[in-house]
Chains A and B, each alone.
Chain A
Amino acid sequence: MGESLSARNIVKHYGGVVALSDGNLEVRAREVVALIGANGSGKSTMSKVINGVVVLDGGQLLLDGNPIHFPSPQAAKNAGIATVFQELSLIPQMTVAENIWLTREPLNSFGQVDRKAVKRRTEELLGLFEGTYKTALHPDASIASLPPDEKQIIEILKAISFNPWLVILDEATASLDSRQVQRLFDLVAKWKEQGKAIVFVSHRMEEIFRIADKYVVLRNGRTVGAGNIQDINEKQLIKLMIEKESVLGFLRGGAKSEEKIEKEVALEVENLTNDGLRGVSFKVHKGELVGIGGLRGQGQRHLLHSLFGDILYSGIVKLFNQEVRFKHPRDAMRRGFALVPGDRAKEGLLYIRSILDNLLLPSWRRFGFPLKVSNARTEATQVGSHLNLKMAGLDEPVSSLSGGNAQKVVIGKWLMRDPQVLLLDDPTKGVDVGTKAEFYALLTRLSSQDGKTILLYSSDDEELIGLCDRVLVMHDGMIHTELSGNTLTKENLIGASLGASQGDRE
């Protein structure tokens, strides 16, 4: 059993992007250290450095006071460090048991995997979360068939199966429901008694204050604060996390929901159903900025992508009272829709192509044959300055941009088409605080002044409250609650996200 791990002055960059410039962290046995930071602060990079998945460019790791270097994830494992990722380290085609025991399967005397022992020990592990499963989870289930919360639980079981002394929980509660989170925290308490150390990477304040003993705050790749959790409160933590308070204190001045309801209905959705949605119905008025809330993975992405024509659905969608059915994003685009997807690297950008190519991708057809590239460049430059895009030039690859600026490119390519309906999937994820403020101003202007209809999903409650006229909270593929005006509060949002029934709130 180890006793302590220190990370001092860690530096890490990915290509041109600096993820960590001065990361510091200390964790000891029998304590839970919360590693806190906004998106893009370097939290995940820190945990990846500690568990050997990425190479650090500068700084030092100390195990029990002795300098140590992890040349591979195996080395970190050997040192007794386990990490629970957000279900990224499971092999979908293999079973629960195979995934948990991979590389450490109990063997018989012939060097073969001892199947009976595997089954027995897997069942023991599964028993730790007994009572919180939705499906009949057994060792031979294939990972691909499991819902996200159970995949997450398997990740947790996998991490503790070799009895590590340090467990890193990297946003491990994101997919879990409240019962499972409680069970996890019970286990964490038990682990502390056994002498383990835990690093809890998260940005959920409520959970942090429930479970942590100490805290470390990262901001823009640097550790800006550390100490005992009892000596600090939520507001101070938030202040450490962000530079300007103004962003979170951002409240839209001027008219809110009441006036908007008088305007015409721009988008009407009736009983939208497919693999991820179980009958979603709602209306959005022209010029409204409606938010979608709820824990991640409850169907928000499905909703946005279905409306955009990317996923097939059954049900009715009406645009300005005319029924539409989009079979391909191109159809949706023709009717004035735009989608800013949730994962810009995978879904929103062509990473190795130039900024110009990215901005123009949906719009080339407008420029004739042969393409009048100079006109395209002019328009692209206009959009760029309109959005305050900081770039070296239109021909630079989009990979050279910071997160916030890259997201501007994604939004920019749609603004060039003057869309009527904007669908946004967590647009400020991984975006720095200054750019966030610019986005808020932009979205507000687009809806209030320009009369665009906006449907926005955000995993950030403050953002939803500050930006939106109304919020539709989704849970398990359906709209669970609609909050607006006085009912649009943080407590109600969280309650509705967790599936609490109407009567519990007020």
Chain B
Amino acid sequence: MAVVLFLLSGLLPNGFGSDLDVARAQVLNILRLAVFLGVIAAGQTLVIISGSEGIDLSAGSVVTLTAILTYILVNGANEKVLLALLVVLAAGALIGFINGVGITFLKISPFVMTLGMAGVVTGAIIVITHGSVTGKVAPIMTRLIARPLSPSLPIPNAVLIWILFGILIWLLLERTTFGRNLFAIGVNRITAKLSGVNVTRMNLLTYSLAGALAGFGGFLLVGNTGVVHLQLGQPFLFPSIAAVAVGGTLLSGGKGSYWGTMAGAIVLTLITSLLTTMQMPDSVRRMVLGGTLLILISIYGRQRALRQ
């Protein structure tokens, strides 16, 4: 299904102009914008696959936090970039770990726990920044993320990074024990445990990883735009969940793929672009997103009927 949508979305830009070059530029534009949503939605994909109503509502604030941290730590110095990357990955993982602890040991539902943590992270951001942020992105980041690899290949590096990222995530899901176990706990935790999977450890790992991936998303985002503000990550949260759903991953867990999420991210970015082009206000964009998700889950999310 995601493939169909992807192809469909490929056709739409062509309707905007007969010029092939213009169309290609527009496709590239959409792709470039979709990268960040795609990376942020990676962690979301993992937690949703892990089942038990897994979701990560703290992703938006984690993105903002890590973007700000990068901004402050790097402060224009190339040498600090690697350090900043490690710090933000660790920060994201820590927040994810706390999420995991609350969900696994305190039995708080993932929705509520991650929503609560989102507030805590936002609060932490305010404490750290006191409302204003000073810092700068390092030139190497802009070079590596925003610019293309070479003039003859006018694809922004971010897209290439995303493709590489996608391959890594695919490897994780399909070619590691972790990935196989992830699908298993998404389908049936009891069977998984009785087949030797340490469900607790998987849970903690998954949410920590999701946090770290969101952190990576924030790093990339600030590298691309070069500016930060307190609402940087928030607009990506809902679309990240919608992207996963559009991409064909079951919201109940146990089945899905990151390629689907990538396609979903592209579709959603396309819709958002269209709305912006039509000069629709933010309110309409929200309604359309909400409505889209609603329609999607109506088709793909129906649970067992009471009567069979």
Contacts and interface: CB of A to CB of B under 8 A. Distances in A.
B153 interface: no
A357 interface: yes
Contact of A350 (B174, B198, B254, B308): B254
A330 B177 CA distance: 14
A349 B254 CA distance: 13
Interface stretch (B78-86, B93-101, B179-187, B234-242): B179-187
Given A53-B307, A54-B308, A346-B188, A364 B177 contact: yes
Nearest to B308: A54
Interface stretch (B25-33, B189-197, B294-302): B189-197
Given A350-B187, A365-B177, A330 B308 contact: no
B175 A351 contact: no
A313 interface: no
B255 interface: yes
B171 interface: yes
A328 B198 contact: yes
B254 A413 contact: no
A371 B180 contact: yes
A329 interface: yes
Residue with the highest number of chain A CB atoms closer than 10 Å, among B174, B196, B198, B307: B196
Given A352-B254, A369-B176, A361 B192 contact: yes
A235 B254 CA distance: 47
A305 B199 CA distance: 17
A59 interface: no
Chain A facing B: main interface SS: loop
A472 interface: no
Given A310-B194, A329-B196, A361-B195, A55 B308 contact: yes
A347 B194 contact: yes
Given A72-B307, A352-B254, A353-B254, A370 B176 contact: yes
A353 B183 contact: yes
A308 B198 contact: no
A21 B175 CA distance: 43
Nearest to A349: B191
A54 B308 CA distance: 5
Nearest to B254: A352
A370 B187 CA distance: 23
A493 interface: no
Given A333-B196, A346-B190, A14 B308 contact: yes
Interface residues of B, number: 24
Contacts of A413: 195
A348 B195 CA distance: 8
A362 interface: yes
A349 B192 CA distance: 8
Residue with the highest number of chain A CB atoms closer than 10 Å, among B174, B193, B194, B308: B194
Interface string B58-77: 00000000000000000000
Interface string B278-308: 0000000000000000000000000000011
A373 interface: yes
B198 A330 contact: yes
Contacts of A350: 183-184, 187-188, 191-192, 254
Contacts of A357: 180, 183-184
A360 interface: yes
A341 B194 contact: yes
A317 interface: no
Given A346-B188, A353-B183, A362 B196 contact: yes
Interface in B196-241: 196-198
Nearest to B188: A350
A18 to B, nearest CB: 14
Nearest to A339: B194
Contacts of B174: 371
* Interface residues on chain A, size class: 20 to 34
Nearest to B175: A370
Nearest to A54: B308
B279 to A, nearest CB: 44
B308 A349 contact: no
B51 to A, nearest CB: 11
A347 B307 contact: no
A382 to B, nearest CB: 19
A72 to B, nearest CB: 7
B188 A349 contact: yes
A341 B195 CA distance: 10
A348 B194 CA distance: 7
A351 B180 contact: no
B191 A348 contact: yes
Contacts of A370: 171, 175-176
Interface in A284-336: 308, 310, 328-330, 333
B156 to A, nearest CB: 29
Nearest to A332: B196
Given A364-B177, A371-B177, A330 B307 contact: no
Nearest to A376: B180
Nearest to A366: B177
Contact of A361 (B184, B198, B254): B184
Contacts of B171: 370
Residue with the highest number of chain A CB atoms closer than 10 Å, among B177, B191, B254: B191
Interface in A352-385: 352-353, 357, 360-362, 364-365, 369-371, 373
Contacts of A364: 177, 180-181
A55 B307 contact: yes
A53 B188 CA distance: 25
A333 to B, nearest CB: 5
Residue with the highest number of chain B CB atoms closer than 10 Å, among A14, A55, A341, A350: A350
B72 to A, nearest CB: 36
B264 to A, nearest CB: 20
A413 B187 CA distance: 17
Given A350-B188, A350-B191, 17 more contacts: A55-B307, A328-B196, A329-B196, A330-B196, A339-B194, A341-B194, A346-B188, A347-B190, A347-B191, A347-B194, A348-B194, A350-B183, A357-B184, A361-B195, A362-B195, A371-B180, A413-B195
8 contacts: A54-B307, A308-B194, A330-B198, A350-B254, A351-B187, A353-B255, A371-B177, A413-B195
Q: Which 4 A-B pairs have the closest CB atoms?
A: A370-B175, A350-B187, A364-B177, A330-B196
Interface of B: 171, 174-177, 180-181, 183-184, 187-188, 190-198, 254-255, 307-308
